[in-house]
Every structure is written in C-alpha cells, then in structure tokens.
C-alpha cells in the first residue's frame, strides 16, 4: 500500500493544478466531539455520583476515534502529490495554532488556581484566609512529583535525540529515541496514577483546593495519554520507514506537542506542588 494512490479521489487530488490540499469530508471530528462530551459528562458523574461507566465509554470512544482518524491521516500523508510544500506550511501553522489554543486552555486552570492562591478569602467566611485551606495536607513535591518531573524532562531529551537522528537519516536511533520516549510517558502516567490513589485528599470532598488540583493535573495527565499515543504511532511509522529527513511532519507535530506537555508540567510542579505546599496567609 505504501507509495500507491488508493482511490479515484486521491488520483484527482494528485493531479489538480493548484498546490492546495482539499480535505475529504470525514465523520471522525464529529465522533471526537461526541467522545469529548462523554468524557466531560463522565467526569461530572464520577465526581458527584461515583458512576464511572460514562467516563469509561468516553475514554474508549476517544481512543477509537484517535485510531481511525490517525489511520486516515497516515494514509493521506503517504499518498503522492497530496501534501505539497504550501500544504505542509499550512499544517505547521495549524499545529502551532492548536498548541496556542491548548496553552490558553491551561491558562484558565492556572487563573483559577492563583485566584484563590493570592486571595484565599474568596473561598468564603467558612474558611480561614489561608491557602491551601485548613485541614488540607498537600502532596510532598519532592516525592512522586519530582520523579514525574525528571521523567518528563528526560523524555524531552529523548524525543530531541530521535528528531536529530531522523534529520541525519539514522533509523536505528530514531526508533530507539521514540521507544524510550513512549516508555517514559507511560512511567509518568504510572507515577501520577500512584499519586492519585495515595493522595491525602480526594476530588469528592475538600472544597476548592482538591478541585483545582485534580482538574489541572488530571487534564495534563489526559494530554500525556494523547501525546504518548501520538508518539507510539510515530514509533511504528518510523519502524516502517514512513519518515524521511525531508518529509516527517507527523513526527514533528508529535514532538511539538510533547514539548508543550513538558512545559505545562514544569509550571504545574512549581505553582501547584512546590508553591502550594505551604499555607499562604492573607495579609
């Protein structure tokens, strides 16, 4: 299937005179939106009613949508004549704008967190003007959070190693770097799962601090899951020689996304774990 044109539509696309790529209609964006709604609804049901079936359904729907959507994108990327230079530039701009939207997504969480961090009196008269609130025992930042930080920082170096190997045509080290990065991503997720199950506070009770903590770190964990899956796809594509030094936007997009995940975690570690470990008394 490699290097062949799959459909009559692809043949027409490959011979059009303009350099732009016209995307075929696809049902997968709609499926992805439905899966996202299921996850959001599932989080609410799990938090308030301890019902997890909708959350599980949303998770598996997301994984399934990612699989079939990426399958079509890989097939499209391997069709000769579709992704001309101007199309590749457009995809890079699109990925950059997507990451920018993700940055603003996390800005909202940090805004919420620092709203109470600097003005704890806003929590109401039932609480002392202190952050974290009285009765909350925070997680030691130099235990599992530090391990997770070192893991993600190391993964940033291994994905960069893989990128340089790709540019030099070194398939062996490209596959090695991607494989190690995927393993490090899984190690981070295991560390975060252990931290959640041993946390001195939980999402269901405790008020503002647990809500701000689990929403921010939980959505970051979800992004790590997506990024790890993204890199795993690149790993198998690299093994099949689907990347070249001149054409490897799929890998490049995955690397950008992974570096974004790394940077967000650094802010979470400093702001939520380290600065949030001691009570800040309102003056």
Average pLDDT over residues 75-102: 86
Quote the mean pLDDT of the chain. 87
Enter the CATH code of domain 99-281. Answer: 1.20.120.80
Please name which of 120, 133, 136, 240 lies closest in space to residue 178, comparing C-alpha atoms: 240
DSSP 23: P
Average pLDDT over residues 4-13: 51
Residue 255: what pLDDT?
A: 97
Residue 176: what pLDDT?
A: 97
* C-beta of residue 238 within 8 angstroms of C-beta of residue 246: no
pLDDT at 273 over 90: yes
pLDDT at 50 over 80: yes
Query: Maximum CA pair distance of the chain?
Result: 71
Average pLDDT over residues 1-20: 53
Rounded to a whole number of angstroms, the CA Rg of the chain reads 22
Same CATH fold assignment for domains 1-83 and 99-281: no
Top-confidence residue, 3 or 151: 151
Tell me how crowded residue 143 is: count the other CB atoms within 10 A of its CB.
13
Percent of the chain with pLDDT over 90: 59
pLDDT at 247 over 90: no
Per CATH, domain 1-83 is 3.50.80.10: no
Distance CA 65, CA 102 (A): 19
Residue 14: what pLDDT?
A: 52
Q: How confident is the model at residue 41 (pLDDT cuts 50, 70, 90)?
A: very high
Helix spans in the chain (H): 8-15, 28-49, 53-77, 85-118, 144-167, 171-197, 208-239, 249-268
Q: How confident is the model at residue 127 (pLDDT cuts 50, 70, 90)?
A: low
Q: How many CA atoms lie less than 13 Å away from 179 in the CB half-sphere?
A: 9
Q: How confident is the model at residue 73 (pLDDT cuts 50, 70, 90)?
A: confident
Range of lowest pLDDT (35-39, 66-70, 94-98, 174-178): 66-70
Q: What are the domain boundaries of the chain?
A: 1-83, 99-281
Distance CA 177, CA 160 (A): 8
Place of tokens 């702001």: 271
Q: How confident is the model at residue 7 (pLDDT cuts 50, 70, 90)?
A: low
Q: What is the pTM of this model?
A: 0.84
Residue 17: what pLDDT?
A: 61
Range of lowest pLDDT (13-17, 145-149, 161-165): 13-17
Record the tokens describing residue 84, joined without a space. Answer: 């001309």
Which residues contact residue 21 at a Cβ distance below 8 angstroms, ignoring those fewer than 6 apart? Answer: 13, 82, 83, 84, 87, 90
* C-beta of residue 74 within 8 angstroms of C-beta of residue 250: yes
Distance CA 175, CA 235 (A): 6
Residue 86: what pLDDT?
A: 82
pLDDT at 11 over 80: no
Residue 235: what pLDDT?
A: 96
């Amino acid at each position: 299937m490699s290097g062949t044109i799959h459909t009559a539509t692809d043949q027409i696309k490959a011979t059009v005179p303009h350099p732009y790529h016209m995307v075929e209609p696809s049902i997968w964006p709609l499926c992805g939106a439905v899966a996202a709604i299921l996850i959001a609804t599932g989080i609410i049901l799990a938090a308030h009613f301890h019902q997890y079936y909708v959350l599980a359904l949303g998770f598996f729907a997301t994984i399934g949508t990612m699989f079939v959507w990426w399958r079509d994108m890989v097939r499209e990327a391997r069709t000769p004549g579709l992704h001309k230079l101007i199309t590749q530039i457009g995809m890079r701009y699109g990925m950059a704008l997507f990451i920018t939207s993700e940055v603003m997504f996390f800005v909202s969480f940090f805004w919420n967190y620092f709203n109470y961090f600097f003005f704890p009196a806003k929590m109401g008269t039932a609480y002392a003007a202190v952050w974290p609130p009285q009765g909350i025992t925070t997680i030691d930042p130099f235990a599992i959070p530090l391990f997770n930080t070192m893991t993600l920082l190391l993964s940033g170096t291994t994905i960069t190693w893989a990128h340089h190997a790709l540019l030099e045509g070194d398939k062996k080290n490209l596959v090695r770097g991607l494989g190690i990065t995927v393993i490090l991503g899984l190690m981070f997720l295991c560390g975060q799962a252990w931290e959640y199950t041993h946390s001195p506070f939980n999402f269901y009770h405790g008020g503002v601090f647990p809500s701000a903590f689990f929403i921010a770190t939980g959505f970051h964990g979800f992004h790590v899951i997506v990024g790890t899956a993204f890199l795993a796809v690149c790993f198998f594509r690299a093994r099949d020689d689907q990347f070249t030094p001149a054409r490897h936007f799929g890998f490049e997009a995955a690397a950008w996304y992974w570096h974004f995940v790394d940077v967000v975690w650094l802010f979470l570690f400093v702001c939520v774990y380290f600065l949030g470990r001691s009570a800040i008394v309102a003056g």
